[in-house]
Amino acid sequence: MTLILKNVCKSFGGLRAVSDVTFSVPERSIFGLIGPNGAGKTTVFNLVTGVYQFDAGSITLGGLCLGNLKPAEIAKAGIARTFQNIRLFSQLTVLENLLVACELQKKAHLFSALLRTRAHFDDEMAMTKRAQELLDVFSLRELADAPSTSLSYGNQRRLEIARAMMLSPKVLLLDEPAAGMNYGEAEGLKTQVRWLRDTFDLTVVLVEHNMQVVMGVCEEIHVLDHGETIAQGSAEIIRNHPAVITAYLGDDDVDAVGGDAA
Partner 1 sequence: MAARIWTRTIVIALMVASASLALDLGFSRILTDGSLRQLLMLTACNVLVAVSLNVINGMAGQFSIGHAGFIGIGAYTAAIVASQLHVKLGAQTPTLANSFIVVPVALLAAALVAGAFGFLLGLPSLRLKGDYLAIVTLGFAEIFRLLIATADVGAKDTLSHAWSNVRGPGTFFHALSVSLTSLGGPQGYAGPVDQGVPLYAGPFWILTIVTLMVALAWRIKFSGWGRALRALREDEIASAAVGVDPTRYKVTSFVLAAVGAGVAGGLMAMMRDGTPSVQPDAFNFQTSFDAITMVILGGSGSVTGAVLGGVFVTLSIKAIEYGQGTSVIQEFRSHAEWLDLNALRMILYSVLLIALMIVRPEGLLGERELFQKRRAS
Contact footprint for partner 1 (CB under 8 A): 49-51, 70-73, 75-76, 80-81, 83, 87-92, 95-97, 99-104, 106, 109-110, 113-114, 116-118, 120-121, 123-124, 127-128, 132, 144-145, 163-164, 166-167
Q: Order of strands across the sheet with 56-61?
A: 15-25, 3-12, 56-61, 64-65
Nearer to partner 1, 16 or 141 (CB): 141
Cα(117)–Cα(183) distance, integer angstroms: 50
Measured CA distances, 192 to 63, 64, 195, 215, 244 (Å) = 29, 29, 5, 15, 27
Q: Minimal distance in Å, beta carbon 76 to partner 1?
A: 6
Nearer to partner 1, 120 or 190 (CB): 120
Cα(66)–Cα(79) distance, integer angstroms: 10
Helix 153-165 × helix 118-137 angle, to 10°? 130
Q: Minimal distance in Å, beta carbon 115 to partner 1?
A: 8
Q: Minimal distance in Å, beta carbon 13 to partner 1?
A: 20
DSSP structure class, residue 143? G
Terminal CA-CA length for the chain: 32
Contact 209, 179 (CB under 8 A): yes
Q: Minimal distance in Å, beta carbon 67 to partner 1?
A: 16
Nearer to partner 1, 109 or 239 (CB): 109
Q: Minimal distance in Å, beta carbon 139 to partner 1?
A: 17
Nearer to partner 1, 100 or 237 (CB): 100
Closest among 97, 77, 102 to 169, alpha carbons compared: 77
Nearer to partner 1, 99 or 205 (CB): 99
Nearer to partner 1, 24 or 128 (CB): 128
Q: Is the dihedral of CA 116, 120, 122, 126 positive or negative?
A: negative
Cα(30)–Cα(205) distance, integer angstroms: 6
Q: Minimal distance in Å, beta carbon 216 to partner 1?
A: 27
